């Protein structure tokens, strides 16, 4: 047995637990909402269903094959199919974070939210980390049609907002995915804090300058 692989898997599990706890402590994952996964060579490590992101046990994290077949650990999140849809369309993504974070969900339920881009480019960092954020039409949680909606957009967008539900983001690494999710939530908060007031969103020229200096 390759002890190096075992050691690396253990490290991944410990990082998932640590970073999930940070999201919980920041108020981005309340109750038993939210889930995190990391793609490994043999399959996907994902947080279990009905588990608190602040009380995870590394040894009890779920392990599933790429097709979602449960191999070991506790029963996987019932939203694992969202993660699989992202991985299937994004070969360079190795981690997915799905949250029900309050401000992002608030944006997802506002009637005036633009379905083509749910958040305006209020800051340079939002544009660089999140970019254009499509709003996925509402589908009942657990319905596989939601995976189809995510899959249709995942090849183009690494972050999206599920209507009346919350954000799903993919990153090259777990840390990358968390940074994107946090930037998205903070921009949603800024959007709500400035509701009803004129704002100076970044212009097309400013966005083009960012793209030139910080290509994705």
The pLDDT of residue 6: 64
Average pLDDT value for residue range 1-27: 85
Cα–Cα distances in angstroms (integers) from residue 162 to residues 42, 106, 205, in the given order: 29, 11, 29
138 catalytically annotated: no
Structure tokens at 129: 């980390």
pLDDT tens-digit series, residues 39-62:
998 999 999 999 999 999 999 999
Structural domain harbouring 73: 3-213
We report the CATH number of the domain holding residue 50 as 3.40.225.10
Instruction: Count the domains in the chain.
Output: 1
Q: Which of 21, 88, 125, 138 is catalytic?
A: 125
pLDDT band at 95 (very low <50, low <70, confident <90, very high): very high
79 catalytically annotated: yes
Structure tokens at 185: 């939530």
Q: pTM, whole model, 2 decimals?
A: 0.93
**Does the pLDDT at position 8 exceed 90?**
no
**Does the pLDDT at position 195 exceed 70?**
yes
**Does the pLDDT at position 122 exceed 60?**
yes
Q: Which of 24, 28, 79, 183 is catalytic?
A: 79
The radius of gyration of the chain's CA atoms, rounded to the nearest angstrom, is: 17
Average pLDDT value for residue range 118-128: 96
């Amino acid at each position: 047995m390759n002890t190096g692989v075992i050691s690396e898997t253990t490290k991944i599990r410990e990082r998932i637990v640590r970073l999930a706890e940070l999201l919980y402590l920041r108020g981005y994952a309340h109750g038993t909402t939210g889930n995190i996964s990391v793609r490994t060579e043999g399959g996907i490590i994902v947080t279990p269903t009905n588990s608190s992101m602040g009380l995870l046990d590394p040894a009890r994290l779920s392990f599933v094959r790429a097709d979602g077949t449960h191999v070991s650990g506790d029963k996987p999140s019932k939203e694992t199919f969202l993660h699989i849809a992202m991985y299937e369309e994004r070969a360079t993504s190795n981690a997915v974070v799905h949250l029900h974070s309050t401000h992002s969900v608030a944006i997802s339920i506002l009637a005036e939210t633009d379905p083509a881009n749910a958040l305006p480019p209020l800051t340079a960092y939002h544009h660089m980390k999140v970019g254009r954020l499509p709003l996925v039409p509402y589908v009942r949680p657990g319905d596989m049609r939601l995976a189809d909606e995510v899959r249709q957009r995942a090849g183009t967008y690494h972050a999206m907002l599920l209507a009346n539900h919350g954000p799903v983001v993919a990153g090259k690494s777990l840390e990358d995915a968390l940074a994107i999710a946090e930037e998205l939530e903070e921009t949603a908060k800024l959007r709500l804090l400035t509701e009803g007031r004129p704002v100076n969103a970044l212009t097309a020229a400013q966005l083009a300058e960012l793209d030139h200096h910080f290509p994705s």
